[in-house]
Amino acid sequence: MAAGRKNIICFFLTAGLLIACPAFCSSDYGYIDISNPFLRKIPLAVPLFKTLNDGYQEKQIAKEASSLLSESLEFTGYFKIINRNTYLIDRKNYNIVIPAIKFKNWTVIGSELLITGGISIDEDIVKLELRLYDTFKEKLLVGKRYKGLKDDYRKMIHRFCGEVIYQLTGKQGFFNSKIAFVSTGTGNKEIFICDFDGHNPKQFTYSKNITLSPAWSSDAKWIAYTSYAKGNPDLYIKHLKEKRGTVVSKKGINVSPSWFPGKFALAATLSFSGDPEIYLLTGAGKIIKKLTDNWGIDVSPAWSPDGRKIAFVSNRSGTPQIYLKDLYTKRVERLTFQGRYNTTPSWSPNGDKIAYSSSDNGKFNIYVIGIDGREMTQLTRNSGNNESPSWSSDGSMIVFSSTREGRSRLYVMTVCGADQRRLLALPGDQTDPAWSPRITDN
């Protein structure tokens, strides 16, 4: 196999296939608003991809790829996928391009958007052509051709899903992201990593002890976490692919890491001076400066997207509450006043809201609050303990842990609390989810 085919997928655009229409959402339709709790799901049809040849392998991958595309877009909560049994087409001979498409066959069944696909396989190379249409306007919105190794068709599909979401919302989506979490399936608390949809979970740490609080760097190449591997709660900073990193092992606790946006630096709680305070560290673990200085316990820092402020948990008022600190003015403000135990703040990518866990009656639930302290909204209720919220990179979804089925599992929901469903279920408990930023390398 040629060197260029071993490690890289070649994504390329063919002239005449791209018609980008950013105004599709805002001016033509105007109903894809991720902050709208009454979002109307768009009816979408995704026929089985057309195959160039009649080989079994080609037909099988075509079936799997078209189903993956449907499931991935449905995962966003934006779409209602129309049942293929209602399609008014010849499944063997339908066309995928204008002018051959009979758009009335799609509008009559209520489909407002249509995605067609064609696929061919030559040895271990897959060629995939995908197109998104507005059926009522009979208009091509975006089209792409991809070429890559057969085993990497999932990446091609997810790349196109990102193109679809970008056209409809103006945001890049989360299809090239991952989720780190803690699982007890091995008998110990270890960190695992899975794809955004729960697919392909893999163990990341092998401490054979207690490991907690995974946190992604801005470039998604590093994970920081706390581990008791040496008996003390130490802070580990580890590269995902290369065997390098560092350990912060000062006297006392070294916990709750949070990476500085866009820089190789992070905040964490250290107690070597006696009082647990939040410090700013380099990615190599050296202390830059102290970020909080109060008699109370300060933990769980979360950075604003611009790196100007941190949200954190402190008991300085008597009970754990969430505070905001402007690192330029040094001003500290209490954000939460309802709930006796508020913890695990997570700052939204848009910078205007914070998700957190709150308990007032013995059960934890997920809330979202504006950074001005207004518009507090409860997202979960009457479903066990719901904790550790983490935003998707585009701000459209939240992952969290919940005991609603008994064992703690990972769940996802929209930012309005809609479409709550389990992400994955492994042996043991799954907790402490952390959604990665967009991963730009393949």
Rounded to 5 degrees, φ, ψ at 159 are -65, -45
pLDDT at 6: 38
Residue 10 pLDDT greater than 60, yes or no: no
- Six-digit token pair at 169? 């919302």
Average pLDDT across the chain, whole number: 88
Structural class in CATH, domain 178-435 = mainly beta
Indicate the pairing of strand 139-149 with strand 332-334: unpaired
* pLDDT-based confidence at residue 16 (cuts at 50, 70, 90): very low
Q: Which of 2, 5, 9 is nearest to 155 (CA)?
A: 9
pLDDT of 214 > 60? The answer is yes
Residue spans per domain, the chain: 3-169, 178-435
Does residue 30 have a pLDDT over 50? no
User: Between residues 37 and 261, which one has the greater pLDDT?
Assistant: 261
Rounded mean pLDDT, 24-29: 37
Distances (CA, A) of 166 to 43, 158, 211: 17, 12, 36
Q: What is the mean pLDDT of residues 335-339?
A: 94
| pLDDT for position 440 | 77
Q: How far is CA 336 from CA 102, 321, 366, 419, in A?
A: 55, 6, 13, 26
Question: Which pLDDT band, with edges at 50, 70 and 90, does 37 fall under?
Answer: low
Q: Which of 271, 329, 272, 326 is nearest to 296 (CA)?
A: 271
CATH fold of 3-169 reads Rossmann fold (3.40.50)
Which pLDDT score is estimated for 5?
A: 38
Both structure tokens of 144: 């792409």
pLDDT tens column, 105-141 = 999 999 999 999 999 888 888 899 999 999 999 999 9
For residue 303, name the pLDDT band (cuts at 50, 70, 90): very high
**Band (398; pLDDT cuts 50, 70, 90):** very high
